[in-house]
A and B are shown apart, each in its own frame.
Chain A
Amino acid sequence: MAAVTADQTTQGTAGTAEEAEAAHLATFDAAVAADDRIEPRDWMPEAYRASLVRQMAQHAHSEIIGMQPEANWISRAPSLRRKAILMAKVQDEAGHGLYLYSAAETLGTSREELLDKLHAGRQRYSSIFNYPTLTWADVGAIGWLVDGAAITNQVPLCRCSYGPYARAMVRICKEESFHQRQGYELLLALSHGTPAQHEMAQDAVNRWWWPSLMMFGPPDDASAHSAQSMAWKIKRHSNDELRRRFVDICVPQAQVLGLSLPDPDIRWNEKLGQHDYGAIDWTEFQEVLKGNGPCNEQRLTQRRKAHEEGAWVRDAAAAYADKHSARPGTAGAAAQPVEATA
């Protein structure tokens, strides 16, 4: 995805700087308006670039921090089938983090730089992962609700105006289609299992429902980046629009599960042809965002620890490559494509 980074771009020479800038902007605006894709070496407004890096970084960070609450249950998965599914899912999240960091690298921001910002608390990840997974049913609730909300958000991103991001999202959405289904199936088994299992499932849905709704971000009238992102077609639908779509999808699914959603105000609105739902506690959202969620500290600490404890391994492999002259850009680098036939 990062074939050529933006900093390698050479600028045109015609006219004054302002004229060139205006011409570039016109080309860019026309491309976005025509639903054309912007590619890494194309000229783009600085704010567009910054906005993309911010969003892709946050997305990538969410994937890798999001491994933690689920990995928490790999060692305790109650059947070997579930254990295999969960391991494959957590592995996918690492893979998705990788795709997204690669997409961000096309804009000239290295993964190392983004990870440093995450570790220093200067870039965010989705607040949802600051909630703990207390029981096995939480694995199901994350699959059904959290991944469900993520997919609702992500499917439109497959048409995002920035090519590498859109392509990464196509791959991610394809791979994630099993994530939500496995969560739903897990909850279904619990809901129709023993009374204790049913209770476990209901409790998990009660705890994850509201945080999942918050995943769509603040209401449209309070969202800082929404309007510009929509204009640039980085984003395709507003926060509230996607949130409502998600509620409409979940209500009948919950009925099939035999579980209730913890919102007495959910009801079908005949006139609008959609569900009404209760007020979201945005104070909680803001608090978790500020770092006061149940697991903010824990998640970041574990991430930093894994990174720091892995430093000697990364250094060792780099040192080995230097000694054996196998690094690109050094003499003897593998000039021929190495072919592996599976």
Chain B
Amino acid sequence: MSSSTDWPLWEVFVRSRRGLSHTHAGSLHAPDAEMALRNARDLYTRRSEGVSLWVVPSTEITASSPDEKDSFFEPAGDKPYRHPTFYEIPEGVKHL
């Protein structure tokens, strides 16, 4: 019963208002990029949720693997000197 030509999956990113980045909103099926954009408009912005859209074929996304998460993300955990709260500044010093 299934069609031999299933439409590919697309990821939809919505900019909710000017000045903000596009955020992942969800996905949908479309035969091509033009239709994906239109379907995204109808589906993900019908309550005025956006001012701009990106659509990306799901297969084009490369993701980090959960198995590598230790080597990917943990090394950043012991470098608190990258955060401003690491430094003690005498009281009363302003504009720092």
Which residues does chain B contribute within 8 Å of A171, judged by CB atoms?
A: 26
Which residues does chain B contribute within 8 Å of A328, judged by CB atoms?
A: 8, 10, 33, 57-60
Q: State how many residues of chain B have any CB contact under 8 Å with chain A.
A: 44
Name which of A69-77, A150-158, A312-320 contacts chain B: A312-320
Q: Which of A42, A102, A327 contacts B8 (CB 8 A)?
A: A327
On whether the beta carbons of A308 and B1 are closer than 8 Å, the reply is yes
Considering the chains assembled together, what is the distance between the CA atoms of A338 and B61 in angstroms?
15
Least CB distance from A42 to B in Å reads: 5
Residue of B nearest to A337 (CB): B54
Considering the chains assembled together, what is the distance between the CA atoms of A335 and B61 in angstroms?
11
On whether the beta carbons of B51 and A341 are closer than 8 Å, the reply is yes
**Residues from 17 to 61 in B contacting A, C-beta threshold 8 Å:** 24, 26-29, 31-35, 37, 41, 43, 45-47, 50-61
Considering the chains assembled together, what is the distance between the CA atoms of A112 and B8 in angstroms?
11
On whether the beta carbons of B7 and A3 are closer than 8 Å, the reply is no
Residue of B nearest to A94 (CB): B43
Which residues does chain A contribute within 8 Å of B5, judged by CB atoms?
A: 314-315, 318-319
Q: How many pairs of A and B residues are in contact by the CB < 8 Å rule?
A: 131
Q: Which of A115, A304, A329, A340 contacts B59 (CB 8 A)?
A: A329
Q: Which of A11, A307, A335 contacts B1 (CB 8 A)?
A: A307
Residue of B nearest to A8 (CB): B63
On whether the beta carbons of A175 and B33 are closer than 8 Å, the reply is no
Which residues does chain B contribute within 8 Å of A340, judged by CB atoms?
A: 37, 41, 52-53
Which residues does chain A contribute within 8 Å of B32, judged by CB atoms?
A: 317, 320-321, 324, 326-327, 334
Tell me whether B85 is interfacial, beta carbon within 8 Å: no
Tell me whether B67 is interfacial, beta carbon within 8 Å: yes
Q: Which of A102, A319, A327 contacts B27 (CB 8 A)?
A: A102
Which residues does chain B contribute within 8 Å of A321, judged by CB atoms?
A: 31-32
Considering the chains assembled together, what is the distance between the CA atoms of A317 and B29 in angstroms?
12
Binding site for B on A (CB under 8 A): 1-5, 8-12, 39, 41-43, 91, 95, 98-99, 102, 105, 110-113, 115-116, 119-120, 168, 171, 175, 304, 307-308, 311, 314-315, 317-321, 324, 326-329, 333-335, 337-342
| Top 6 closest pairs, chain A to chain B, by CB | A328-B57, A318-B5, A326-B32, A317-B31, A334-B33, A337-B54
Binding site for A on B (CB under 8 A): 1-11, 13, 24, 26-29, 31-35, 37, 41, 43, 45-47, 50-61, 63, 65-67
**9 A-B pairs in the complex with CB atoms less than 8 angstroms apart:** A110-B6, A314-B5, A315-B3, A317-B31, A318-B31, A328-B60, A329-B8, A338-B33, A340-B53
